[in-house]
């Protein structure tokens, strides 16, 4: 019996979320890392409120990026080891769509907890309360974009061992524009300037990545597994 595409996507999302819930320690690790890093900045730079406010947006964005990088290497590792990725390749459903569901599940379990705690981290760095909304919006656009870009690079390095350092070297330069636009929106909101333009650029890049990244990820995985 052929399973519909919608049912297959729902089953895959439910499976990934259930597996992530069983490994709750892996979900907590990026959150704990972000909290530790954000907590250390006031100790290192001192309690000067103006300085902490000025760097708060950039610190949180870079902290979230590095925290996501901790869990990015494991996006497809388990599927390659247990053979379920080959089943996705053989499934009648479009591979790009199934991989998009996998990336979405990874974003929910990795980036969404970081976004939830970002106002707390911003408060620790004395970011003004009205700016926290802009920070959350920037993170809601930047983090899925980082997940989509990272998924392509993870797929390219899927056939290599100890790919964590290689993945970091490839991903960090590509993430610089994302961090610049997101931090620019937060900085503009802090100064009372229009902040919609950087957010609009992030939204446009996210739409483009939503269309192209799953296709590129599917092609990269086919190449990596054939090799």
Evaluate if residue 26 carries a pLDDT over 90.
Answer: no
Please compute the mean of the pLDDT values over residues 46-55 and round it to a whole number.
Answer: 83
Q: What is the pLDDT of residue 204?
A: 94
Q: What is the pLDDT of residue 174?
A: 85
| Close Cβ partners of 223 (under 8 Å, ≥ 6 residues apart) | none
| Close Cβ partners of 30 (under 8 Å, ≥ 6 residues apart) | 67, 68, 70, 71, 110, 113, 114
Start-to-end CA span in the chain (Å): 32
| Close Cβ partners of 200 (under 8 Å, ≥ 6 residues apart) | none
Confidence of residue 78 (pLDDT cuts 50, 70, 90): low
Q: Which of 22-36, 98-112, 178-192 is predicted with the least confidence, judged by mean pLDDT?
A: 22-36
> Per residue, what are the HEC states of 143-188?
HHHHHHHHHHHHHHCCCCCCCHHHHHHHHHHHHHHHHHHHHHHHHH
Q: How far apart are CA 183 and CA 138, in angstroms?
A: 8
Confidence of residue 96 (pLDDT cuts 50, 70, 90): confident
Record the tokens describing residue 94, joined without a space.
């479009």
Please compute the mean of the pLDDT values over residues 181-205 and round it to a whole number.
Answer: 91
What are the tens digits of pLDDT across the range 159-192? Answer: 566 556 677 777 888 888 898 999 999 999 988 8
The residue to which tokens 């991903």 are assigned: 171
Evaluate if residue 1 carries a pLDDT over 50.
Answer: no
| Close Cβ partners of 217 (under 8 Å, ≥ 6 residues apart) | 96, 99, 103, 151, 152, 155
The residue to which tokens 């999302």 are assigned: 13
Please compute the mean of the pLDDT values over residues 96-124 and round it to a whole number.
Answer: 89
Angle between helices 164-190 and 49-72 (to 10 degrees): 150
Q: How far apart are CA 226 and CA 86, in angstroms?
A: 11
Q: What is the pLDDT of residue 208?
A: 93
* In contact, 128 and 74? CB cutoff 8 Å: no
Evaluate if residue 135 carries a pLDDT over 60.
Answer: yes
Q: What is the pLDDT of residue 196?
A: 92
* Higher pLDDT pick, 135 / 162: 135
Q: How far apart are CA 104 and CA 107, in angstroms?
A: 5
Q: What is the mean pLDDT of the chain?
A: 83
* In contact, 163 and 157? CB cutoff 8 Å: yes
Q: What is the pLDDT of residue 40?
A: 87
Helices (H), the chain: 5-22, 24-45, 49-72, 77-82, 84-90, 95-124, 129-156, 164-190, 196-226
**Domain of residue 192, residue span:** 5-226
Record the tokens describing residue 182, joined without a space.
């997101």
- What's the number of domains the chain is made of? 1
Please compute the mean of the pLDDT values over residues 12-36 and round it to a whole number.
Answer: 83
Please compute the mean of the pLDDT values over residues 19-41 and round it to a whole number.
Answer: 84
Q: What is the pLDDT of residue 140?
A: 93
């Amino acid at each position: 019996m052929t399973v519909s595409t919608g049912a297959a996507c729902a089953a895959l999302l439910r499976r990934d979320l259930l597996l992530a819930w069983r490994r709750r320690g892996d979900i907590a690790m990026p959150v704990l890392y972000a909290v530790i890093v954000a907590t250390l900045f006031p100790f290192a730079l001192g309690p000067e409120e103006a300085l902490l406010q000025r760097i708060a947006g950039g610190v949180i964005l870079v902290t979230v990026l590095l925290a996501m990088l901790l869990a990015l290497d494991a996006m497809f590792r388990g599927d390659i080891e247990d053979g379920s990725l080959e089943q996705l390749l053989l499934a009648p459903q479009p591979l790009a769509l199934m991989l998009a569901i996998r990336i979405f599940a990874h974003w929910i379990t990795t980036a969404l907890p970081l976004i939830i705690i970002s106002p707390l981290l911003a408060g620790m760095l004395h970011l003004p309360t009205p700016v926290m909304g802009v920070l959350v919006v920037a993170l809601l656009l930047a983090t899925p974009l980082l997940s989509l870009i990272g998924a392509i690079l993870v797929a390219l390095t899927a056939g290599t061992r100890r790919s964590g350092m290689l993945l970091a070297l490839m991903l960090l330069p590509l993430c610089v524009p994302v961090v610049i636009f997101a931090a620019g929106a937060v900085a503009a909101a802090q100064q009372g300037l229009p902040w919609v333009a950087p957010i609009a650029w992030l939204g446009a890049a996210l739409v483009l990545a939503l269309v192209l990244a799953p296709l590129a990820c599917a092609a990269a995985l086919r190449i990596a597994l054939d090799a």
